[in-house]
Structure 1
């Protein structure tokens, strides 16, 4: 469970880091790509390391052995000399005030704490560690010291799973003196709330040892009790509370939050440490007594354990998630601030350059205005659709840039482009084409009666002026022989020339007459329509020096002094 939450937290951190790099931070494309690859590599390495170092150690604790999620009592991880406290193949004992979980060896204690924190995170603040010591089942002081050293290391390892160092307390079970005649177990406690050693009796009422000894029986009984207590306290101080030397240093002194001594019959081994200690003091050896199946649990000490106010593993994970999200939001806001500063600086630089240019020549200022127009279009688009998220988060500055940009664009108008130079080209009118059948009879060259009106309407654009030659050309179709057609076309051209000369009083030097016969057709002669188009007389103006002038460079009286040329712009 905890591994899953850590994996999800790692993936969340990787996603937020990628979002920060790709969506917010003002970096180049290459830098974004490099950072994204680095983030993915770091995330993959973290997940691989976590998977590689998973611990597949079986815990002899099932789901039914753990207290329920809403359990309100103390949860005790019991380690040390635990065999007489649990039945065979039993991993826990439940009482009215507590839930005792059995750690069979030093390696299982941190794994049990890890498993409990993973599946019951709400109970982490209720967990404490009880170190049990039964001197009558220990035969070697060196073996006891080595065992206690391993347990103290295991307890120190539990802090990473139990939100810090859990409360640690100890209980010593010892057989009572031979003169002790009271029934049941006798409890002596040392707790932070009460000074000295207290005796728990009559519903766990705490009495000072001196008062209890005064109320007890004979003097010999009081001496035995005092000897037993002093010996047990000396044993506890020697093995539990003093620092232990290890190879790389020392294990720190174990601060016990409470200590308990239980005088109850204990199944003893031969030549155990307790017998050795009592024999060394009194030269007497405690006699073995009948012991029950299970030793009593220290219920009298549970109300005096310190109450922890730490958070559960789930709440710790939530704090980590909140911390990662807060860091992401802070960096995203910083990136948004930097992006807005770059936007303001970029548009401001464009405005400064624009206002410095006078407009003469207009090209540089026109280019600067184009940059401002591009900025204006971008800001207007963000105004309609919303600015990108990398500029948002309440820090967007583009709104205040729109008015100065619009005012700058409207403050100057580029000059109009220069008008093209107009060149006047003098050219003659288009060629006038007259239908021969409308002017002449077939095979004739005399003008038909009534053709004058057609000639006047067709030749209204022909104006006579010095330097222009009036060319009159006659054409026929392919009917007849070539010589006759050439003569006919020339005669018809001369008839039109004579009419223009006589009617307009134009000197004959203004004319040139040509007869082409059938040599220049404009259509096919195989059809009636084509032959009709080929029978024609064409009149056009051709520029020619000294044309249409009388001797003395005077114009003919009928020549028009008006406009005889077309003007083209």
Structure 2
């Protein structure tokens, strides 16, 4: 095989292997062992394919036509492969006839057409789309109809093999010449015959038969058409389980071009139906218009150079299949990701809040999923998810909302815990402000009667807002309002600052829905609570934290 053929084979194989490995390693969710074994199998098959194609030798020397010396690389028109009867007289010692509208290439043996097409495809792959076949039939030289039909059956076999080789069917022409009154070429394409006189413009058959004495030839012409229809096209279009029917692209027919044999299928056909009999002495062979050149313009729209050949078309189809499969696998991978996260969320919601151990296990699974999605947000999601609708952002938000609802179990030694005092922010502050209103002192005094500084207890002041406005501004405003309440308690009660812890949560911990005005009003609050903490708020001369806890417990029980 030539170098110009070996290099494309290797390049096409490399691209195909790359497409398959890209699909295997990035989209198909299988283990590394399976992927490794499949990769090895793909490489072995690719090597075998390259070796087989590089070792293939075409039987060019065995064919009657050597295509190595044909100037087909710059051919633009149709290239007709001619086979059939008496080709020596047709080509007159040559194997190629070039015209302004196309080429006629001689192929003597019908059974070798596939070899010639394969040779042309290997040496001139772009010109393979310009090929067509023509079978020349001279019924006057056939004494047995069965032999003639077997030749047509061989033509059908060759057409089937060519379709398997190239991926499409070549147009098949029938050129039939009968003995009889001399007529020009009659070209039949579809159901309208056209007469093509030599050195004259084509005309409709109905117009031609009315001119001069042409009507005399009508009986022989009608029988010739009947013979073609009932013998030649009947054999080509016969239904067969092994071979598909072959419909002739066009039929070229003329009379008076051959010297008849004494006994032939044509003479027997004509005599049995019309009692006409043409003698050898009355028939004069024609030496002009040997080829039906009028069919070349009909073939021109169907003859075009191929872009890349059959191997490239197969590669393009393989790449498209890999891309479509990758899109489908990406959608399936995203679906599996959604199902996995949804299952963990359903398990979380199904476990009661007071079942702390299974709730903690479910929380660990949620945090693991959230960390994975967060890493993909920073580094980019894997390729196996990127071709479909990747739902990572929505899943991450759902996981975070579930994680934020987790309340750790209280420690036994911290019970009982005083109730949280909630103050309406709008009663203490103006909208968007962090300075206490005038007259808010009475509200603070009435609400904070039970909040006193005690050793071992930390006064936690936390500010909250609704979701109106930006997250950063809400965070800052909630912290400033908590600090304002802390400062008032510190200055009014002369409490050391070490007894306080100030927190600003913004809108991250709502106690009601922010979709209604009432819910937003409940979320705008300042919460004050006592949290046990060892050695917190130790004042000179105060009791230890354990004694203070017992005092608080006693007071709660009395209440």
TM over 0.5: yes
2:200 aligned with 1:200 = no
Task: Give the stretch that moved more between structures: 97-106 or 328-337.
Answer: 328-337
**Greater Cα radius of gyration, structure 1 or 2:** 1
Question: Structure 1 length as normaliser, TM-score?
Answer: 0.56
Q: Which residue of 2 aligns with 1:128?
A: 132
Contact 1:66 1:116 in 2 (8 A): no
Question: Structure 2 length as normaliser, TM-score?
Answer: 0.57
Extract unaligned runs of 5+ from structure 2. Answer: 414-559
2:401 aligned with 1:398 = no
Q: Which residue of 2 aligns with 1:443?
A: none
Q: Which residue of 2 aligns with 1:144?
A: 148
2:385 aligned with 1:380 = no
Aligned runs of 1:381-530 on 2, under 5 Å?
381-409=375-403, 412=406
Aligned runs of 1:331-342 on 2, under 5 Å?
331-342=325-336
- C-alpha spacing 1:253/1:189, structure 2 compared with 1 (3 Å): farther
- C-alpha spacing 1:149/1:344, structure 2 compared with 1 (3 Å): closer
SS at match of 1:336: helix
Q: Which residue of 1 aligns with 2:221?
A: 229
Q: Which residue of 2 aligns with 1:561?
A: none
Counterpart Cα distance in 2 of 1:408 and 1:299: 82
Q: 1:65 aligns with which of 52, 70, 75?
A: 70
Q: 1:188 aligns with which of 185, 190, 193?
A: 185
2:19 aligned with 1:16 = yes
Shift of 1:6: 7.8
RMSD between aligned alpha carbons? 4.8
Q: Which residue of 2 aligns with 1:25?
A: 28
Q: Deviation per CA, 1:73-97, whole angstroms, max 9, x where unpaired? A: 3321211122322243x43210111
Q: Which residue of 2 aligns with 1:260?
A: 252
Aligned runs of 1:358-369 on 2, under 5 Å?
368-369=362-363
Shift of 1:38: 6.2
Q: Deviation per CA, 1:246-273, whole angstroms, max 9, x where unpaired? A: 9986867653343223456657778766
Aligned runs of 1:33-44 on 2, under 5 Å?
none
Q: Deviation per CA, 1:481-519, whole angstroms, max 9, x where unpaired? A: xxxxxxxxxxxxxxxxxxxxxxxxxxxxxxxxxxxxxxx
Shift of 1:151: 2.6
Counterpart Cα distance in 2 of 1:114 and 1:154: 12
Q: 2:100 aligns with which of 96, 99, 105?
A: 96
Contact 1:372 1:409 in 2 (8 A): yes
Q: Which residue of 1 aligns with 2:175?
A: 171
Q: Deviation per CA, 1:334-393, whole angstroms, max 9, x where unpaired? A: 332333333344444445555666787866655554444443433332222212112222
SS at match of 1:375: helix
Contact 1:243 1:251 in 2 (8 A): no
- C-alpha spacing 1:358/1:294, structure 2 compared with 1 (3 Å): same
Shift of 1:42: 6.5
SS at match of 1:131: strand
2:91 aligned with 1:86 = yes
Contact 2:79 2:102 in 1 (8 A): yes
Contact 1:79 1:102 in 2 (8 A): yes
Counterpart Cα distance in 1 of 2:225 and 2:179: 15
Q: Which residue of 1 aligns with 2:114?
A: 110
- C-alpha spacing 1:204/1:130, structure 2 compared with 1 (3 Å): farther
Counterpart Cα distance in 1 of 2:385 and 2:401: 24
Counterpart Cα distance in 2 of 1:80 and 1:108: 12
Contact 1:373 1:409 in 2 (8 A): yes
Shift of 1:321: 3.8
Q: How many pairs are equivalent?
A: 405
Counterpart Cα distance in 2 of 1:393 and 1:248: 47
Counterpart Cα distance in 1 of 2:324 and 2:241: 42
2:293 aligned with 1:299 = yes
Q: Which residue of 2 aligns with 1:499?
A: none
Counterpart Cα distance in 1 of 2:389 and 2:207: 74
